[in-house]
Amino acid sequence: MFERPASGENAVLVQLDFGEGDFAERLSEFNLLVGSAGARSLAVISGKRARPDPALFAGKGKVAEIGDAVGLHQADVVIFNHELSPGQQRNLERTLECRVVDRSSLILDIFALRAKSHEGKLQVELAQLQHLATRLVRGWTHLERQKGGIGLRGPGEKQLETDRRLLGKRVSLLKDRLKQLERQREVRRRARTRGEVLAISLVGYTNAGKSTLFNALTRAGAYAADQLFATLDTTSRRLFIEGAGPIVLSDTVGFIRDLPHALVAAFQATLEETAQADLLLHVVDSASADRDQQMAAVGAVLEEIGALDVPQILVWNKVDLTAASPGIERDDCGNISCVRLSARTGAGVSLLREALAEVASRHDEIPAAAA
């Protein structure tokens, strides 16, 4: 796994207000993302705009302010909590004379740091290459010349064209390898279906506590930490539920607002496990002031991967940090819609087991989506 320098990188952060609301929550999440990437935030530049500037995203005056901060703090990188076009990114780097990273690149970088399994690394590399394909010209002035010199003379193909061709070959190779892994997963899925074992997936916003809950239910010892994207690789365990028999429980990658499309596409095969599940446990950080927006972001990703219609039970996690008490809530039809618990303390986990037993005992009557 790629390691960050122990000292980290000095960063100037940029977040502009385009009237979307939740500015403070977005900024707090942005700081967590930057920390997860191993950078140090030395300054935050903010401001209000009606719309992004076509050339520099932030406008000349704001970019000058960013440049002053870069010089003052000797920053290594400027990180935007926004999606930049290739042209905007290139113009900003030329103006600031500093590396510029947007939100998508930041998230992809964190995924590259956290990927551990062979498949996870392949998926992250594919997403990075697909993202890079639109940005090959960024700052590479030498690519504007024909290859030349001893050992470099060739048929006249420009270096940029060579790089694009090699990148395309690598992307094709990665897709082929991931398809092989997908076929292997499909074989396992069919075997599980033949055994009529209930398949349940944990989904939710990053850092909502999915892996902690997974460990509380299965004692699997999956990595869990108070950080964004602690889990990238899907982990599945067979779990015995008293009175209902075995089920298969899967822990999945956490979602986040504005998740890069390249990342969703690269992880499509893994995320399809979620769409193929019989039931989703949508884990929510009930202590977060931003929980409604986080739930909406999860719903958007579920819709993108075709899993929005999979039945859900909300798991209201971290009640130990709120005034709520563990319990089970039901809808007007008497079906379980929500379970309140604390995965960290274990309070209410037994109630979730009871809820899963009820669902498993009437596999063909799983309640309608509750999120």
DSSP string over 300-319: HHHHHTT-TTS-EEEEEE-G
Torsional sign, CA 67, 70, 73, 79? positive
105 known member of a binding site: no
Report how far residue 257's alpha carbon sits from residue 294's, in angstroms, rounded to the nearest whole number.
7
CB contact at 8 A, 38 and 8: yes
335 known member of a binding site: no
What is the SS3 assignment for 246?
A: strand
204 known member of a binding site: yes
211 known member of a binding site: yes
Torsional sign, CA 160, 109, 307, 173? positive
251 known member of a binding site: yes
DSSP string over 85-108: PHHHHHHHHHHHTSEEE-HHHHHH
342 known member of a binding site: yes
Mapped to the 3 state alphabet, what secondary structure does 49-64 carry?
Answer: CCCCECCCECCHHHHH
307 known member of a binding site: no
318 known member of a binding site: yes
CB contact at 8 A, 285 and 134: no
100 known member of a binding site: no
CB contact at 8 A, 82 and 16: yes
Distances (CA, A) of 63 to 47, 88, 103, 139, 288: 11, 12, 17, 18, 33
53 known member of a binding site: no
Angle at Cα 311 formed by Cα 275 and Cα 198, nearest 5°? 75
The radius of gyration of the chain's CA atoms, rounded to the nearest angstrom, is 23
Which of left, alpha, beta for 156 (phi over 0: left; psi -120 to 50: alpha)?
left
229 known member of a binding site: yes
Tell me which amino acid residue 44 is.
V
269 known member of a binding site: no
320 known member of a binding site: yes
91 known member of a binding site: no
Annotated binding site: 204-211, 229-233, 251-254, 317-320, 342-344
- Binding residues for GTP, as ranges, are 204-211, 229-233, 251-254, 317-320, 342-344
The annotated binding site for Mg(2+) is made up of: 211, 231
